[in-house]
Structure 1
C-alpha cells in the first residue's frame, strides 16, 4: 500500500489550456433545435469556458483530502480511496463507479457515508489512476476478484458491496468472489429487467411496460456500439481534443441525467468537469473501452446476473413486474419505491438520499 496524492504536472495543465484556447469551433447546423443534433454549440462553448477557468489545484486539494493509495493486484496498480469512520461500530463498504465516470462519482457522498461506514472507493482498471488492463479478457468477475483481494489486504472480513452502471455488474460478482465476506449487495438499479425470452409469458400490462423499455433502451447515442466496435478510432480524436472529449462525455451525461434538462442542474458542475479532466489527463478515452469488449467479441448485452450469496437491495427498484423477475435470481430484501428521483448516477445527483438508502439496506441485514 503506497500513499497517493493527485498532482497533475503543470506542463499538462498548460497544454490543456492552450488546446482549449485553440479550439476550432464548428458552424451551427441548420435546423438544429436544442439537443436534436447533439450538444448545442452555445452550451458546449459555455462548458469549455468553465473548464478553462476551473481552478484545478483547488479541485485537486478537494479530492486529495480523501486518503488515497496505490497497490498492485493481479499484476496491475490499483488506485483507491480509503476513508475510515470514527464510529467504532462502522461497517466496511466498497463502492464501484461506472462509465463514463470515475471515483469522483462519490466525492459528495462520502461525508454522508462515514458516520456509518468505512468507505473504500477503488478506480476500475484503466480508469483514473488505476493501471489499464495489460491484456484482453477483463470483465466484472475479474475486477471482483481484485476487489476481494483489496478488501482482504485492508483487513475487512465482512463488508457491503455497492455499485451502479458497470459497478452494478461488479458488486454482485464480488458477492460470488467472496462468499461469506460480502454481507449485502446494494445496487442503483439494473436488475430484474425482462428479456425477449420473457415476452411469451407477459400479461398485457407487462407487455406494455416491456415495449416502453424498448423505446427507452433504443434512444440516445449507442456508446456500446461505438466503443465496442471501434474504440481506437474515436479515442484518437478524443485524446487529441479536449473540447471533443468534453462534447462526447457531456452528451452521455445528458442522456444519463433524466431528472434535469442539463446535468449541471443536479450535479456539481466542477465535479463534472473534473471527471472529464481525469479522462483527459490519464488517457482514459482508450483505456476504459474494455468494458464494451463484449460487442466486438459478438456477445449480446446482458443485465447484471443474479446471485444468492448475499442479500440484495436496490435504490430505485422499479415496478412489481421488474421485482418479480429480480427475485428469480436474487434474495431481494430492500426495494423502495419512494426514494428521491434520480438519473443514472444517483450518488452524484442525490448523495444524501443515496447514502441514507445504503444505511437503510444495511439495517435489514
Structure 2
C-alpha cells in the first residue's frame, strides 16, 4: 500500500463553524420528556438540555484545539486517502515504536492524557481512523478493518519503523488484531483493552462464575445497548442526515455511550442503567469529542466503518505476542480460556479493578502501566 505526501497539519476550525454550532443548539427542537426516571430510554431530556446549554454558552473548543496543536500533527496520503495522525517521537534513544488506535465514538482525544508518560519509552503514532476527525472520508467501500490495518502497517514503515508494536480498544482493538494477524512480519506484538472473540461452543457446558457474568453483560448489551451498531452497520447514510444536521442529536448519540460504557456507577455486570457519565469523563472531555465529530461532519463517515467491516470481519488466530487488559465495564469480556482459542501467544493477562470501555481516557495511569508491563514482555 502506497504512502505519499506526509506533511505537517494544523487544526484551525473557522469561527463561523463555531458560531453556526451555537446557533443550531439555540434553535433545537426538543422532544418530550422520557416516560421513565432513568437512562433506559436513552439520554434523559433534562440532562441533554443541561449539557447542550453548557456546550452553547460555557464550553470552549479552542482549548482542546490548542492542546492538539501543541502536538506534532500530520497528514499522509495512504492509498489515495488523507489520514491524520499524531507523531510524538521520544527523546529516549532506546524508545520503541507504538501505534495507538481509537474506536467509535472515540477519537485521538482518548489518548491525550497518556501521551506524555508513554512517550518516555515509545515513539507514538496515533492515527485518526478513516472517516473520523481530521482524516479524509472514504469514497469507496473498501476501508474495512483489514484495509485500515494494512494502511497503518504501511504508515509505520513509511515513518521509518520496520518493526513496531500496536495497541487499541473498540475498533482500535479490531484493527490492532488485524495488524497482528496479517502483518506479523512487521508487528512485534500487540496490546488490546477490548479482547475480541467469541466463547468457544465446546466450553459452554462448563462455565465458571466469571464466565457467566461475562455472558450476562454481553446479553444485556445485545438486548438493550446495541441498536446503534445495527443502524450504523446497515443504514449509516440515513442516520447521517439527522446527526449531520443536529448538534444535539450528535451529542446524545455519543453521550449515551459514554454513560453506558464507562465505569460511572453501574451495577456489576453493566446491565443497570444507573450511574452518570460525568463520574468517569468530565463534561469538557465529552464535549471535546462530540465537538470533534460535529465540526468535522463525521457522523455518517464514522458510522460507515460498521457497514464496511461487519460484512467482512475476519477473526482468525493471532500468533504474535499479545497483552490483554480487561477493564470491568467493558462491552465484552472473554475469560482467559476463551481468549486462548484465538490469541495463541498471550504474554500478559490482567483484570483491572476499575475502568470501562474508554480505558486510556478513564484510567490513564492504569492504562499506561498495563501497556508498559505488556510490551516489556515482548522483543522488538
Contact 1:314 1:334 in 2 (8 A): yes
CA distance in 2, matches of 1:139, 1:115: 32
Match of residue 108 from structure 1? 113
Residue 296 to residue 364, structure 1, CA distance change in 2 (3 Å): closer
| 1:264 counterpart = 2:278 | yes
Match of residue 339 from structure 2? 326
Match of residue 377 from structure 2? 364
Q: TM-score, normalised by structure 1?
A: 0.91
| 1:130 counterpart = 2:130 | no
CA distance in 2, matches of 1:178, 1:296: 21
| 1:14 counterpart = 2:46 | no
CA distance in 2, matches of 1:8, 1:189: 33
Contact 2:131 2:137 in 1 (8 A): yes
Q: Deviations over 1:237-289 (max 9, x none)?
A: 11111011111111122111144322222123222111111111111111112
Q: TM-score, normalised by structure 2?
A: 0.88
Runs of 5+ unmatched residues, structure 2: 1-5, 266-274
CA distance in 2, matches of 1:180, 1:284: 33
Match of residue 212 from structure 1? 216
Residue 320 to residue 145, structure 1, CA distance change in 2 (3 Å): closer
CA distance in 1, matches of 2:317, 2:276: 33
User: How far off its partner does 1:185 sit?
Assistant: 0.4
User: For 1:71-220, what aligned pairs fall within 5 Å after superposition?
Assistant: 71-194=76-199, 197-198=201-202, 202-205=205-208, 208-209=212-213, 211-218=215-222, 219-220=224-225
CA distance in 2, matches of 1:326, 1:77: 35
Contact 2:195 2:333 in 1 (8 A): no
CA distance in 2, matches of 1:134, 1:145: 18
Select which of 4, 7, 10 maps to 1:2. 7
Instruction: Number of aligned residue pairs: give it.
Output: 357
* Cα-Cα RMSD: 2.3
User: How far off its partner does 1:312 sit?
Assistant: 0.4
| 1:306 counterpart = 2:302 | no
Residue 115 to residue 258, structure 1, CA distance change in 2 (3 Å): same
User: How far off its partner does 1:107 sit?
Assistant: 1.2
CA distance in 2, matches of 1:179, 1:22: 52
CA distance in 1, matches of 2:49, 2:334: 43
Contact 2:87 2:123 in 1 (8 A): yes
CA distance in 1, matches of 2:371, 2:359: 12
Runs of 5+ unmatched residues, structure 1: none
Select which of 24, 36, 42 maps to 1:38. 42
User: For 1:274-353, what aligned pairs fall within 5 Å after superposition?
Assistant: 274-293=288-307, 297=311, 304-308=315-319, 310-316=320-326, 322-330=335-343, 331-337=345-351, 339-353=352-366
